[in-house]
Amino acid sequence: MKQIKKHKFIAACLLILIVLIAGLCIRSARSAEARRAEEIKAISDTIYARALQCYVIEGAYPESLRYLEENYGLTINQQDYRVVYMPFAENLPPEVRVIAREGSS
């Protein structure tokens, strides 16, 4: 009888351990997703800020992302992110989309 109780106790402890490990894994994954979303927002905000700076100084939004990189010190981690920069007109802000590349950290 003691043997059965001992096995049940061990099984219960293992089950609790498995649930705790699964919870930590899920939390870690969510944390990584949240961090990635914050990074994407920060990159997008920086691009908009540099484009606005260009508009204020030059009177027009830049025609390309390269222009911001060459003239306004913008640097983007091209290995981890892809940026789609779509200008509309000189007096309208561009549409910017930042996309995380597959397999990037």
Q: Is the pTM of this model over 0.85?
A: no
What are the percentages of helix, strand and coil residues in the chain, rounded to 5? 60, 15, 25
> For residue range 50-98, what is the model confidence (pLDDT) as tens digits?
999 999 999 999 999 999 999 999 999 989 999 999 998 999 999 999 9
Instruction: Give burial (CB, 10 Å; 0-12/13-18/19+) of 39.
Output: middle
- Cα-to-chain-centroid distance, residue 35: 6
Q: Decide if 95 is inside a domain.
A: yes
Per the structure, the count of domains in the chain is 1
> In this structure, is residue 105 part of a structural domain?
no
The parent domain of residue 24 ranges over 2-100
Distance between alpha carbon 76 and the CA centroid of its chain, in Å?
A: 13
